Amino acid sequence: MTQAFRFLVFPAAVACALLAGYLAFLGPGYFVLGLVAVALVSLFALNSRFALYALLVFTFFEDWLPSVPGLPSALKLMGVLVIGSWAVRRLTDRGATALTGPVEVAMMLFLGVTLGSLAVATDASVGLSFFLRYAMFFGLAIVVADHVHTVRDAYRIVVVLVLAGAAAAAGGLWMFFFGGENLAQGPLGDPNDLAFALCMAAALSFYIVVAKTGAARWLHLALLGVIVGGVAATLSRGAAVGATFGVVWGIMLGRVRPRYLVSALVVAVVTVAAIYSVDPQRVALAVEMKQAWGGVNVSDRFDRWRIALHMMTDNPVLGVGVGNYGVLYRAYGGAELLGNEGGEAHNVAHNMYLEVGAEMGVLGLLAFLALLGVALWMAIQLVASERAASARGPDRGSVVAASSDDVLARLLAAGVSTALVTLCVAGLFLTEQYFAPLWIVIGLISGLRRIRKSEGRGLAAHDVGTEADPHTVIPVSRPIQGYDVSLR
């Protein structure tokens, strides 16, 4: 903790106490939110890593968090507090390095276009709300990347995401069977949103299963089964297509033995069978209702894509304004689905690329594609560099066996790239660009790249017989404990 940060602790504590008293006077709901806010700020002041973990967990349970009428959602408030506290720490830390990697530059470019589209938005208040949401998730990606200093840091974040995903999947399944919902939902109110988040968790979880051995592998296999069951119970076709492409991508990487894929398939089949056995009639009814609405939904999505294209052709430079697709949906001839005749729910295009193009024009779409392209390129480079590193060690006759950190580095690289491909493909059928999963994965990729780049500079200096930068830290891997090092 820096001297400047210590200086702020006492006045901050006094301010928090006064705020808590005022919120208690307003009402119990305000007081609960105030306590959560104070706890997060205090947690971040003491240990920023655990505050980040808390925020990542809350992204899976946004619709179960308490809310107060007239205030932003609890997740937004928590995000502002955590990211704001992180920004204060960075500003008061004289030794902090600048965050100017390719992803950060691409995000700033996209945010600039988003700000430009806000200036032409039909409904500026809606546009501002969505602009701030984008800004918060950009901040989340940067905070995630800034907390990845070692492979172990990235691994801990992934484990938190897997545990939160399994808990959210269990909550969604509970609401489906016992909470009166027609599909798995609840922690996130829309089944598609829940499926999107769980797809990220499933992709990361699979590679953790591959890395583990013994009882730990069985435990993570059970968590993967719960997550897969949650995805299946949402009956989200977009998520299913994304997951399918994720599996294909994992096979193309060649980092996983066929028996692991077979094991995952068996887990998926067993999980679906177990879900069906709990209440066959309810599952059959949910599938029947999904099939009955299938034709209507397909036709509706084509109409929404057509409307998005019309918006983009009518406003090719900056679009109709960030967040304003739903505002102008009816003006472009859009029809409301059953249950939303009054237009209370915000209409979306069910394609994050077309919606970005409609709201931010060609400039926004190109900036968004550039951002995703940079992230995917970095993920591919991570996989390639880890593959080269694993092949190089034995060839040189290294006396050091493959370590747990080496295994984690290889599998995390494969995991984040698979998660990104899964989410990008699912985004062809879902509107998820202003939800957390995509930006969490991008943050992990950026953080892992920074580690690999730092190690690569030191290794390159060693390879050519020159003196490495004395400030470059090359972590020493720990001996293997509970990890499968025979991966090919």
Does residue 144 surpass a pLDDT of 90? yes
Q: What is the tens place of the pLDDT at every residue in 424-441? A: 999 999 998 988 999 999
pLDDT number for residue 417: 94
Does residue 416 surpass a pLDDT of 90? yes
Q: What's the pTM value of the predicted model, to 2 decimals?
A: 0.84
Confidence of residue 66 (pLDDT cuts 50, 70, 90): confident
Residue by residue, DSSP assigns 342-411 as: T--SPP--S-HHHHHHHHHHHHHHHHHHHHHHHHHHHHHHHHHHHHHHHHHHHHTT-SSPP-HHHHHHHH
Q: What is the tens place of the pLDDT at every residue in 301-333? A: 889 999 999 999 999 999 999 999 998 998 988
pLDDT number for residue 398: 35
Q: What is the tens place of the pLDDT at every residue in 68-122? A: 666 677 788 788 878 877 887 777 777 667 677 889 899 999 999 999 999 999 9
Q: How close are the terminal C-alpha atoms of the chain, in Å? A: 43
Cα–Cα distance for residue pair 450/433, rounded to 1 Å: 24
pLDDT number for residue 455: 67
pLDDT number for residue 4: 47
10 Å CB burial of residue 399 (0-12, 13-18, 19+) is: exposed
Residue 171 contacts by C-beta under 8 Å, 6 or more apart in sequence? Answer: 61, 64, 186, 187
pLDDT number for residue 391: 61
Q: What is the tens place of the pLDDT at every residue in 156-208? A: 999 999 999 999 999 999 999 888 888 889 899 899 999 999 999 999 999 98
Residue 183 contacts by C-beta under 8 Å, 6 or more apart in sequence? Answer: 176, 191, 233, 234, 235, 286, 290
Cα–Cα distance for residue pair 218/267, rounded to 1 Å: 11
pLDDT number for residue 252: 86
Secondary structure, 3-state, 50-70? HHHHHHHHHHHHHHHCCCCCC
Q: What is the tens place of the pLDDT at every residue in 225-245? A: 999 999 999 999 999 999 999
Given a contact cutoff of 8 angstroms between Cβ atoms, the answer to whether 405 and 478 are in contact is yes
* 129-138, 341-350, 371-380, 430-439: range with lowest mean pLDDT: 341-350
* DSSP-based three-state secondary structure for 126: helix
List the helix and strand counts (H, then E) for the chain.
Answer: 16, 0
Per the prediction, the chain carries an average pLDDT of: 80
pLDDT number for residue 287: 82
pLDDT number for residue 27: 60
Closest CA to 130 of 118, 142, 143: 118
pLDDT number for residue 10: 55
pLDDT number for residue 456: 60
pLDDT number for residue 480: 40
Cα–Cα distance for residue pair 137/36, rounded to 1 Å: 20
For the chain, percent helix, then strand, then coil, each to nearest 5?
75, 0, 25
Helices 48-58 and 28-46: crossing angle in degrees, nearest 10, is 140
Q: Any idea where the domains of the chain sit in the sequence?
A: 97-334+346-463
Does residue 210 surpass a pLDDT of 80? yes
Confidence of residue 65 (pLDDT cuts 50, 70, 90): confident
Please, where are the H alpha helices in 235-349? 237-253, 258-278, 280-314, 325-328
**With the C-alpha atoms ordered 309, 315, 317, 320, is the resulting torsion angle positive or negative?**
negative
Confidence of residue 57 (pLDDT cuts 50, 70, 90): very high
Residue entry with tokens 């967990």: 57
Measure CA 129 to chain center. 20
Given a contact cutoff of 8 angstroms between Cβ atoms, the answer to whether 171 and 186 are in contact is yes
pLDDT number for residue 286: 84
Q: What is the tens place of the pLDDT at every residue in 5-37? A: 455 555 655 666 666 666 665 666 666 666 666
* DSSP-based three-state secondary structure for 286: helix
